[in-house]
Structure 1
Amino acid sequence: MPSSLRTTGICIVVAASTDQGWAQVRATGDDGSCGVGLWGCTALLGGDRRAGDDWASGLNCCILSIGTLCANITIFSEKVEIKKPYIILEGDRDQQTVIQYGDGGNVVTSPTFKLNADNFVARYIVFKNTYDNLPSKLDASGVNTTWAPAAAINGDRASFYHCSFSSLQDTLTDAKGRHYFYDCKISGAIDFIWGNAQSIYENCQINSLASKIAPRVGFITAQARESPEENTGFVFKNCHVTGSGPMYLGRAHTNHARVLFAGTTMDNVIRAEGWDGARFKGSENLISFSEANCRGPGANMSKRVKWEKKLSDQEVLLAVYAFSSISSSGADVGEGCSAIGDEKAFSDQIVAAAGHGSYGTGLFSEACG
């Protein structure tokens, strides 16, 4: 097997496991071919199955281990869309498993990876959009970028562990639903974490690529909460902001945007003002941008915008708890359900919800345990 495999087209997951313990995953490309074939819970991108084949559609849970077990394949150059709930997507923890594609100009059609289903887990996957990294897409000064998401997350109760997201603009479209990111790396330069989800980023590396768009300035977040009644927003807990500057922590995509950085280390890449009201200057009192207990040279708040929200310790704890207590059943931790922040517990819930026992046991133990 080659160490990498280049394929093209669009991969759409629409089928899952059967009671025989195997599954086939339908993936349709522009030419009608299928880019994913699954046997024994090992997904091999670049397969030659045809879209007209008889696809399995039995029980509604499957663990897709890509780049492991039967194949030494690590780079998949195609678009992937998950449309079926109860999917666990796994890469190889010892070597990078990359899903990448180069497309830009449209936040709806350009993402390399789309999640349009609930109850999802990804581990050890690198999601890339290479569009803005192509020299032909840059002008003479090297600052011409456009929307080029590496991933667009629209499902509810989704979690990502030890994953990486890389592009320049709109890298991670954290669009809607409740999401948890643990030990992930998100790289970009302009609005590279944006959307209106209710999400917590814990122990993540936020990697600024602002030097690639110089002399322009970069923005980490562009949160899009539309009203004070919405419980959406982004919380960054114990993260590390690093890379190259200058960079704002965020700008308001809507006039009720909400972002909190708590216990985060910030390197010297953050502009002194910290935040930008963007097109909502004059109504910044509606925006909820906050920092609490952060450290590092970029966390100096002496010159921050005057309208940054100051939160008490109790308000910070309540905010972090509210965003952390997301579970696969929709209940919070206090109601006896495991939060998606618990990696194995949430995986167990997804597998059990489809009647398969727990992750790494029963139906999937031999192929994927």
Structure 2
Amino acid sequence: MAFQDFDKIQERVNANRKRKFRKRIIVGSVSLLVVVAAIVGGAFAYVAYEKRNEQQEAKNHNKSGSGNNVKDGEKKSQSPPSPSQKPPVSPEQLLKPVQDDKIIETLCSSSLYTQECEKTLKNSTEKGFALANPTTFLTSAIEAINGDLDRVLEQFLSLKTENQDDIDAIAQCKLLVEEAKEETVASLKKINSTEVSSFANVVPDLDSWLSAVMSYQETCLDGFEEGTLKSEVKKSVNSSQVLTSNSLAMIKSFDEHLSPVIKAASRLLLDEIPSWVSNDDRRMLRAVDVKALKPNATVAKDGSGNFTTINDALNAMPEKYEGRYIIYVKQGVYDETVIVDKKKANLTMVGDGSQKTIVTGNKSHAKKIRTFLTATFVAQGEGFMAQSMGFRNTAGPEGHQAVAIRVQSDRSIFLNCRFEGYQDTLYAYTHRQYYRSCVIVGTIDFIFGDAAAIFQNCNIFIRKGLPGQKNTVTAQGRVDKFQTTGFVVHNCKIAANEDLKPVMAEYKSYLGRPWKNYSRTIVMESTIEDVIDPVGWLRWQETDFAIDTLYYAEYKNKGPSGDTASRVKWPGYKVINKEEALNYTVGPFLQGDWINASGSPVKLGLYDA
């Protein structure tokens, strides 16, 4: 029952021909981008150069033939140029500055902050960046983010306050800025180690990592109460937010030029399951076979394993482990706060069942703990996988924000898991996440965050909260239109929990509300029971906030509340067609081949396809 390390999955042998074809498309597309930019930008310079040449020759010709007193020999010994004249330059020297400016203009044209984008790139060019290929501009843009984050970190270190809440917020910001820097450094390494012809292959990673940078910046700001200090911090963080937005816009600009390749790759994901996914891996996540599991560590409260707590098992995990590390957690309720840190990559945690193996806690905002820190379980290490596990926060509705699990692991998978809480149950914080056949229970905003997350074949139950409360399933937190984040609820069931059914008429419930400006949530091919109000979606605190910038969409939902006739009439709400819905399936939205590679069952396309 072997797991495969995400970084060591072998390439398909029988896909060589398609891969070579895609590579040719990439090379041709990128070359076209460079050539077009060079032609457009260089044409003006070259024409100007030729015109100046012709004018000079004509002037010299007129001088030489203007009088009979000039001797033939004198034509060869004209006076040297005056000190005010510039020495002649080659056409290449004339072409390069205009060519660079034209590429910069093209890359920045779609950004939200065009002037800042162009200024950043031009400053980098003046500092002598080698422009051997267009991705060098992107490198300089991300370098600018990194430098600005250093400045932000220095400012945080200099902030003085005696208010404990502010002290805690500053400390949290420092950690978040450091995490943001890790993402930018990873992005730079990825670009620098990638050939231009292969750039399309790293676009999903760059989008995910830089989107996470924006999430960290926003979470930093959210930690402060409104006031002078928050305004000061917001002003300090703003420039790095602008730089990050511009970098994401540039990636999108590259991506558009490489669109034929992306579309070809998307079609492949929708139509085929890669042949290099082993049968062992497929079987492994479809059913837990404890005898064949062969875990690296076993946790059991009764002492029948290697450890009695999950944290002890994690502490014993080697810092550098080749392949996938498996921890089997036997039946029991584990009352502990668990953090799978970034050093623990490619970790799988398997339980005896989502209502048998349970990790529980009761931290809450009502106890003066920041929402970000209330999580019972935190998954940070890349490639984290959980199966047949339960995650709870038992603070109750009186605890208000109380997180059962916070997930920021890139390419994480949850299969047959259960998440129970009230407000803010599942914090799908950052990066790419996939949930399959899970149960999610809560009241207000109980699926929230800014990840690119797909919930497929899940049961989502709305439970009874405090009297007078309005329930919202989602509160997605996308802050910038170039972030590739959003929530997709696909082929799920949204219904009332057993405790809500008798009093359902007393509680209004909705599919979601916009937590941030560019909130994005898609509900498609799902069954929506009558627990959801016919209008479908709720305003943020009864205001018009984000209703024209958000993206809320539905496609072919069924059930008593699946009809869209009475839905909100916001500019950002849409009933989409099949072609647009395909963009939010696992294949294109999460580049879902990594899910297949894990052995997890997954539907890459639409169910009605």
Indicate how the Cα distance of structure 1 residues 258 and 97 shifts in structure 2: closer, same or farther if over 3 A, else same.
Answer: same
Contact 2:472 2:510 in 1 (8 A): yes
Which residue, out of 555, 558, 580, partners 1:315? Answer: 580
Corresponding position: 1:87 with 2:347: yes
Shift of 1:56: 4.6
Task: For residue 217 of structure 1, report the CA deviation from its aligned partner.
Answer: 1.1
Does 2:470 correspond to 1:212? Answer: no
CA distance in 2 between partners of 1:199 and 1:231 (Å): 10
For residue 273 of structure 1, report the CA deviation from its aligned partner: 1.4
1:157-306 matches, within 5 Å, as 157-209=411-463, 211-243=464-496, 244=500, 245=504, 246-278=508-540, 281=544, 283-306=546-569
Distance (whole Å) between structure 2 residues aligned to residue 265 and residue 123 of structure 1: 24
SS of residue paired to 2:371: coil
- How many pairs does the alignment contain? 289
Q: What is the root-mean-square deviation in Å for CA atoms of aligned residues?
A: 3.1
Q: Which moved more, 1:301-310 or 1:55-64?
A: 55-64
In the alignment, structure 1 segments of 5+ residues that lack a partner are: 1-20, 26-34, 68-72, 133-142, 327-331, 347-369
Question: Does the C-alpha gap of structure 1 residues 215 and 76 become closer, same or farther in structure 2, counting only changes over 3 Å?
Answer: same
Cα distance in structure 2, aligned partners of 1:47 and 1:319 = 35
What is the identity, as a one-letter code, of the residue corresponding to 1:212?
A: G
Residues in 1 aligned to 2:312 and 2:436: alpha-carbon distance in whole angstroms: 35
What SS class does the counterpart of residue 568 from structure 2 fall into? coil
In 2: Cα distance, 1:239 partner to 1:317 partner: 16
Structure-1 separation of matches of 2:395 and 2:327: 26
Larger radius of gyration: 2
DSSP-derived class of the 1:299 partner: coil
Structure 1 runs of 4+ with >6 Å offset: 47-51
Letter in 1 for 2:380: N
1:97 paired residue number = 357
The Cα shift of 1:201 comes to 0.4
Cα displacement (A) at 1:343: 5.1
Contact conserved, 1:126 with 1:163, CA < 8 A, in 2? yes
Structure 2 Cα separation of the partners of residues 281 and 116 of structure 1: 35
C-alpha distance in structure 2 between counterparts of 1:94 and 1:217, whole Å = 28
Q: Deviations over 1:55-77 (max 9, x none)?
A: 7545254100100xxxxx42111
Change over 3 Å in CA distance of 1:292–1:232 after alignment to 2: same
| 1:51-200 map, 5 Å | 56-60=318-322, 61-67=324-330, 73-83=331-341, 84-93=344-353, 96-105=356-365, 106-132=370-396, 144-200=398-454
- How far, CA to CA, are the matches of 2:395 and 2:462 in structure 1? 17
Shift of 1:302: 2.1
Cα distance change, pair 43–178 in 1 and its aligned pair in 2 (3 A): farther
Equivalent residue letter for 1:66: V
- Cα distance in structure 1, aligned partners of 2:550 and 2:310: 48
Call closer, same or farther: CA 1:196–1:317 in 2, change over 3 Å.
same
User: Judging changes above 3 Å, is the alpha-carbon distance between structure 1 residues 82 and 266 closer, same or farther for their aligned structure 2 residues?
Assistant: same
Distance 2:480 2:351 in 1: 38
Residues 194 and 224 of structure 1 are in contact (CA less than 8 Å); yes or no, is this contact kept in structure 2? yes
Distance 1:341 1:164, change over 3 A: farther
Query: How does the TM-score come out when normalised to structure 2?
Result: 0.44
Tell whether the 8 Å contact from 2:335 to 2:360 is kept in structure 1 after alignment. yes
Equivalent residues of 2:327, 2:349 under 8 A apart: yes
CA displacement at 1:102 relative to structure 2: 1.2
The aligned runs of 1:18-37 (5 Å cut-off) are none
Q: Percent identity?
A: 25
Relative distance call for 1:197 and 1:248 in structure 2 (3 A) is: same
Q: Is the 8 A contact 2:408 2:431 kept in 1?
A: yes
Q: Give SS of 2:583's match.
A: helix
Structure 1 distance, partners of 2:455, 2:529, is 18
AA partner of residue 339 (structure 1): W
Instruction: Quote the Cα distance in structure 1 between the aligned partners of 2:295 and 2:350.
Output: 16
The letter for the 2-side match of 1:76 is Y
The structure with the largest helix share of the pair is: 2
Q: Residues 147 and 283 (structure 1 numbering): CA distance in 2 closer, same or farther, change over 3 Å?
A: closer
Structure 2 distance, partners of 1:259, 1:50, is 37
Q: Quick one: structure 1 residues 102 and 345, their matched pair in 2 at CA, closer, same or farther if it must change by over 3 Å?
A: closer
Name the aligned partner's letter for residue 251 of structure 1. Answer: R
Letter in 2 for 1:63: I
CA contact (8 A) 2:516 2:546 kept: no
Q: CA deviation at 1:50?
A: 12
Q: Is the 8 A contact 2:403 2:426 kept in 1?
A: yes
**Residue type of the partner of 2:457?**
N
Q: Distance in 2 between matches of 1:235 and 1:149?
A: 20
Tell me, what secondary structure is at the counterpart of 1:212? coil
* 1:102-136 deviation line (CA, Å, top 9, x unaligned): 1111222210000111111100000001111xxxx
Tell me, yes or no, if the aligned pair for 1:88 and 1:120 is still in contact at 8 Å.
yes
Task: Map 1:308-347; keep pairs closer than 5 Å.
Answer: 308-322=573-587, 326=590, 332=591, 338-340=593-595, 344=599
Q: What's the offset of the Cα at 1:101?
A: 1.0
Unaligned segments of structure 2, at least 5 residues: 1-293, 602-609
